[in-house]
Amino acid sequence: MRILLIGYGKMGRTIEQIAKQRNHEIVGTIDVTNTNTLSQYNNSNVDAAIEFTHPESAFENVKYCLNNRIPVVCGSTGWLDHFNKAKVLCESRNGAFFYASNYSVGVNLFFHFNEYLASKMQAYPNFKISVKEVHHTQKVDKPSGTAITTVDGILSHYSDKKGWVLAPEQADNKIAITSERIGNVVGTHMVRYESENDTIELLHDAHSRTGFAEGAVMAAEWLQNKKGVFGMKDMLNL
């Protein structure tokens, strides 16, 4: 498979290594130094694009791929106010678009168990819910897309909760998310239910970027010959 990497930071380089290990060809890499070369690529020379950039550029990159019939896997976070536009464009172009806030198989199992736990805990309103995420200091968006996805999973089972706030802000009808940026932490996410009597925690702690990169390449493989908008639940059949 011919893969175009849009975003060539730490994640892009790790994806490159994994893709080559899986016998794929990297036909190009795009970063801030050569964004003008994106126009060289279309569905005649690319089988899939994997996009990991910044909130400011993600939507334009996705839009370019969809307009040029390139199946695109996007892992950028912080741009989801434009997600519906990308979805509509994908459908109008009969394209293929795969989005996840986190491509780790382990994290997506975490999402699955998070929703299951929320479905049980909503019967016990004496437990206060909070979410915490910790990442490396180079991660620009707060909170992480993974933390927001985690909260969305909880909210689907709590009719009295209406979104989230970034701690230290608090609101009775919202879930507080604590975001920390420390050293080279790859990514830690925790859901906490706390009452006067006890505490329940669900934790995912990433040890390296390899799991995220492997999931992104798997998504690009899975997306071949498909049309529509997809996510990790589709690929993992969760």
Catalytic residues: 135, 139
> Are the beta carbons of 217 and 22 closer than 8 angstroms?
yes
SS3 of residue 118 by DSSP: helix
Alpha-carbon dihedral angle through residues 205, 201, 164, 210, given to the nearest 10 degrees:
10
Question: Residue 98's Cα: distance from chain center in Å?
Answer: 10
Q: Which amino acid is at 80?
A: L
Copy the structure tokens of residue 211: 């799991």
For residues 82 and 60, what is the distance between their CA atoms, to the nearest angstrom?
Answer: 10
Q: DSSP character for 170?
A: -
Q: For the chain, where are the alpha helices, taking DSSP H only? A: 10-21, 55-67, 83-92, 105-121, 145-155, 210-223, 232-236
The neighbouring-strand residues paired with 213 are: none
